[in-house]
Amino acid sequence: MVDNPAVIRERLSGKRVAVTGATGFLGTALVERLLRAVPGCEVVALVRPGRRASAEERVRREILRNDCFHRLRDEWGDGFDAEVERRLTVVSGDVATDGLGLNEDDRLTLCSCDVVIHSAAAVSFDSPLDTAVEVNLLGPARLVGVLASSGSRAHMVAVSTAYVAGSRRGLSPEALLPDTPFSTEVDWKGEVDAARRARADTDAESRRPECLKRFAKLARAELGAAGAPVLAEKLERLRRDWVGDRMVEAGQSRAQGLGWPDVYAYTKALAERALLESRAHVPVTIVRPSIIESTLSQPHPGWIRGFRMAEPVIISYGRGLLKEFPGIPEGVLDVIPADLVTAAILAVAARGPEPAGPDVVQVASGARNPLRYRRLVDLVQEWFWEHPLYDAEGQPIVGPEWSFPGRGRVQRQLQRATKALSVAERAVTALPIRGRAAELPGHLENRRSQAERALGYVQLYGAYTEVEAVFGVDRLLALWHSLDDGDRAEFCFDPATIDWRKYVQEIHLPAIVASARVRTTPGGKTGANRAERGRRALLSKDRHIAAFDLENTLIASNVVESYSWLATRHLPADERVRFTLRTLREAPTLLALDRRDRGDFLRYFYRRYEDAPADRVQQDAWELFSQLILTKSFPAGFRRVREHRALGHRTLLITGSLDFIVEPLRPLFDDIVCATLDRDAEGHLTGELRSAPPTGEARALTMADYAASEGLRLEESIAYADSASDLPMLEAVGYPVAVNPEAKLATIARKRGWHVEQWSRSPGGPRPLMPIGPLLRSARVGARS
């Protein structure tokens, strides 16, 4: 260690300091602190460009607009933009790419830096194996390789994690991994090759016919007869998700099999070895924080970016969703505020590299100021008792008492609950229910999601509540004791300065609750509710088109009922009975065909109109409208159509019903798109459609053509429909509305946050079991005599 280091600000003044991972939690804090606390330094941020944003745009949007910079904006005032322009340079690069994807100018800029702080990482504990390997394991080696190949003498400060210690008990010293007792010896190059092969093998397996058939079955089970393009898109999404899930499992299995809690710690441990082997002449210091949480004081108390490890568990506890969580009550949960970590990193950067070679500094609290798991739980319970969250009815939620059970028992309980709820959800979703009854699968899904979320928390974070390692901080404290009072005040990183009660109850919990968007006040909600806000958005003058489905959206009827009414007119009683029995026997077949493909069902069913006299059927349809369709209409739906027309919106009816059935509705709409049957030379219906019925993806194409012809925009338009088979129509617009949705669509609408309307028939109208009409002489509509 360098003796008597100068003041940190002075040591770093005039230096060029690079930061990777600048858009992340720790990286953002580092950039802010360098700009604010070290006025004389220049900062170079290496940022991966996004799909739709350059690296510079990401810095402006994701870093400089973050509330981490509020203090700096206040201090610099109107000069903020000019000072940032002068002192912050953005380099476009990606640590997951060989050579970092740098152009020559950016490479020269990076390699001209005096210090390079590597904080980029895939920080999720359940990242896919290959993703964690490419970013966490190979990222530091790629970075140091670029520096070494350019002859750079920059001091590289690599941020790792204290949990590279794995599952050992007792003291875990600040030592390089090959010299650390009980470290697991693994060939990191072999692990890289294996991870890449695993991705390729898993992707190939996902394309095998049996897998694709399973994905297709799952897609149809979720979306029904939504149309080939929508089902194909869903199938591909299921395939990619399946590959991703298998890679997550591979990462967890490999890490835990080697003694690390998760893929993050596993790849970070191997990254240290890869870095040391690849560094050549580049001086390196490894900084190992423990669990990084919200700031203690800088830039302001409680600053946090995104939820870290403890926050989801704490919020779930406050909402009453986690009945139990495993852990060793007397064990240490090693938490360290983010500003102590940034201060320690800057102190290491100011100190410079050790002459003796690479060294390790751990930033952890357990050895110096331990926070016992039981104490943390007690502090959290006390706080939520005094500051409860509230449920949807405005009632306080009472958190459960945790009994610190074993991780295995909690996992088994949650796995059983998840499986039982999944079975129940699938069974109910398959039922032909709609409207408010279709909300039941949603309730089951919510409970299943809660159980799965709780299980995920236990699997991801449970190991950290059972850790019995104590992370040594001798080097950290030696560095701390070498600082003068000014440095200690500005760059505090001594864990002993943390008052855990104050930090947890006055800083951390208020901060995460404020950012969690949970209800913190009692009583009923004031102002417009979500449904009212959604309705206002629909009835804005800014909307362009209002497109409506017909069956079960505006009327509680369907093509089978319309045909049955027409087909039984003037039939004697005995023939009506036979017709009814035939229709009931055929109902399961018709329902199954409709669920498979709506277009095929309509083509099949409309052949029953063959030989019907077109003029006579058209006349009968007016009586059908008054005696059946109007009695089954939803007044709120018809009222909504008129509201849209009054606002100047173009109203469009898109239905698979036949033209003579919907003709009486024509005055209600600006335009109608429907099915039409051909006629023969003698004026009889042929039972064959003139063109493809407007179902599934054809509806979306129709709407796109209609909008283009009228000079209107679909993103400012609305679609009303009731079935998952109408997904293309709903997805085509900016404002989809699920009306009396069947179970599948109700689930989709809930997941996507779509507006839902529940419209009902007028009370007191006739409700016959079968829509039997009183005219035609044959079960075939108007067949020739």
- Residue 527: predicted pLDDT: 59
Domain map (residue ranges) of the chain:
7-192+260-515, 193-219+228-257, 534-757
620-635 pLDDT, tens digit per residue, is 899 889 888 888 999 9
- Residue 785: predicted pLDDT: 33
- Measured in whole angstroms, the distance separating CA 379 from the mean position of its chain's CA atoms is 30
- Residue 339: predicted pLDDT: 96
Q: Comparing 389 with 425, which gets the higher pLDDT?
A: 389
Q: What is the DSSP secondary structure assignment for residue 340, as one 8-state letter?
A: H
Contact 425, 287 (CB under 8 A): no
What radius of gyration, in Å, describes the C-alpha atoms of the chain? 33
Q: Which helix (H) or strand (E) holds 360?
A: strand 359-363
418-434 pLDDT, tens digit per residue, is 888 777 777 777 666 66
Q: Work out the percent of the chain whose per-residue pLDDT is above 90.
A: 56
Is the torsion defined by CA of 336, 338, 344, 345 positive or negative? Answer: positive
- Residue 1: predicted pLDDT: 42
- Residue 783: predicted pLDDT: 45
Give dist(CA 757, CA 553) in Å, integer.
Answer: 9
Q: Which fold has domain 534-757?
A: Rossmann fold (3.40.50)
Least confident of 72-86, 110-124, 405-419, 604-618: 405-419
Give dist(CA 64, CA 89) in Å, integer.
Answer: 13
- Residue 42: predicted pLDDT: 96
User: CB 105: neighbour CB atoms within 10 A?
Assistant: 9
User: Residue 736's beta-bridge partner residues?
Assistant: 719
Contact 294, 508 (CB under 8 A): yes
Is the previous residue joined to 370 through a cis bond, with omega within 30 degrees of 0? Answer: no
Tell me the pairing of strands 735-739 and 718-721. parallel
Give dist(CA 144, CA 123) in Å, integer.
Answer: 20
**Hey, is 64 helix, strand or coil?**
helix
Tokens of 425: 């959800």
Give dist(CA 408, CA 578) in Å, integer.
Answer: 61
Place of tokens 């110096």: 368
Average pLDDT over residues 70-83: 93
210-259 pLDDT, tens digit per residue, is 999 999 988 887 777 667 778 888 899 999 999 999 999 999 999 988 88
Give a three-class secondary structure readout of 688-751: EECCCCCCCHHHHHHHHHHHHHHCCCHHHCEEEECCHHHHHHHHCCCEEEEECCEHHHHHHHHH
Least confident of 114-123, 346-355, 463-472: 463-472
Residue 289 has pLDDT above 90, yes or no: yes
Instruction: Give the model's confidence band at 270: pLDDT under 50 very low, under 70 low, under 90 confident, else very high.
Output: very high
Q: ∠ CA 517-520-525 to the nearest 5 degrees?
A: 90
- Residue 2: predicted pLDDT: 42
Of the candidates 508, 493, 505, 501, which has an alpha carbon nearest to the alpha carbon of residue 294?
508
- Residue 391: predicted pLDDT: 83
Instruction: Give the model's confidence band at 784: pLDDT under 50 very low, under 70 low, under 90 confident, else very high.
Output: very low
Given this chain, do its domains 7-192+260-515 and 534-757 carry the same CATH topology? yes
Tokens of 759: 């419209």
Amino acid identity, position 386: E
Is the torsion defined by CA of 304, 307, 309, 314 positive or negative? Answer: positive
754-772 pLDDT, tens digit per residue, is 999 999 887 766 555 555 5
User: CB 16: neighbour CB atoms within 10 A?
Assistant: 19
Q: Comparing 390 with 763, which gets the higher pLDDT?
A: 390
> Mean pLDDT for the chain?
87
Contact 421, 439 (CB under 8 A): no
User: Residue 17's beta-bridge partner residues?
Assistant: 43, 115
Residue 779 has pLDDT above 70, yes or no: no
- Residue 437: predicted pLDDT: 66
Q: Which fold has domain 7-192+260-515?
A: Rossmann fold (3.40.50)
Q: Name the percent of the chain in helix, strand, coil, to the closest 5.
A: 55, 10, 35
Half-sphere exposure of 109 (CA within 13 A, CB side): 18
* Dihedral Cα 676, 678, 682, 687, nearest 10 deg: -90
Burial class (CB within 10 angstroms; exposed 0-12, middle 13-18, buried 19+) of 320:
middle
Q: Comparing 437 with 125, which gets the higher pLDDT?
A: 125
Which span out of 35-44, 432-441, 724-733, 737-746 was modeled with the highest average pLDDT?
Answer: 35-44
Residue 154 has pLDDT above 70, yes or no: yes
Instruction: Give the model's confidence band at 5: pLDDT under 50 very low, under 70 low, under 90 confident, else very high.
Output: very low
334-367 pLDDT, tens digit per residue, is 999 999 999 999 999 999 999 999 999 999 999 9
Q: What is the DSSP string of 268-307?
A: HHHHHHHHHHH-TT--EEEEEE-EEES-SSSSSTT--SS-
